[in-house]
Structure 1
């Protein structure tokens, strides 16, 4: 994959992100960390303690179950929204001119729905892979292979 000089590369999942800047050229990628963040998102059963609710049906004396809220998934979506908001702020502040986003498919979908027009204009490539657990040199190698 061609990653231009000074391009930012966002590597994210629903619980963490790292923003890199390419200090190399488009052929020899040299990523350096610009920013990073993470959220502590325990498993759903550790976040919610209530049983799913029940609702009265309009018919005589019947009740229906209500779906339980998955707090873990909601927190991942919220984190992706916050990450997209930061990208939008950085794009408005002209912190980068080119952007590559690498995220797992679910997070990538959440990010896409919150891109502003300046982010869309600077977006060069999206990749639906989870590379957040890899060291920097392996992220560079993964980008070169694509």
Structure 2
């Protein structure tokens, strides 16, 4: 991986489906200095606290057979909602001029979930995407991983 170039004021968004760190480069391209601007966390409730009913079933149109319907994955749905809200936050940041450049660092699964929710402004501001799950690391280790 080539060394990433992050300008002054650029944001690095490190996230997964439950936590997001918005880091801002207070240094420059030669000597980046990442600082935490925002931390967003989404509680991971037990499935029983998220869903209310047992999975449904459907009747066959011919005969008396019944088939069960797959239960909704409430964890997956809550992760999608969390990432959708994060994408909205990034849109506000880009359209109001809080930042002009974004680097998104997330697990490949989270990248796949958040990408469809990028606004046109966010899409233009994204400088790069890194498919790594670094959200549980301290900021100095994230900086080392990305800028080494």
Per the normalisation by structure 1, the TM-score is: 0.92
Partners of 2:103 and 2:141 lie apart in 1 by: 16
Could you list the structure 1 runs, at least 4 aligned residues long, displaced by more than 6 angstroms after superposition.
Answer: none
Partners of 2:38 and 2:130 lie apart in 1 by: 19
- 5+ residue gaps, structure 2, are none
- Count of residue pairs the alignment pairs up: 145
1:61 alignment partner in structure 2: 64
1:111 alignment partner in structure 2: 114
Matched, 1:14 2:40: no
Matched, 1:71 2:84: no
Per the normalisation by structure 2, the TM-score is: 0.91
Compute the RMSD of aligned alpha carbons: 1.4
1:48 alignment partner in structure 2: 51
Shift of 1:45: 4.7
Partners of 1:53 and 1:107 lie apart in 2 by: 29
2:35 alignment partner in structure 1: 32
Partners of 1:100 and 1:43 lie apart in 2 by: 32
- CA gap of 1:43–1:29, structure 2 versus 1, over 3 A, is farther
- 5+ residue gaps, structure 1, are none
Matched, 1:93 2:105: no
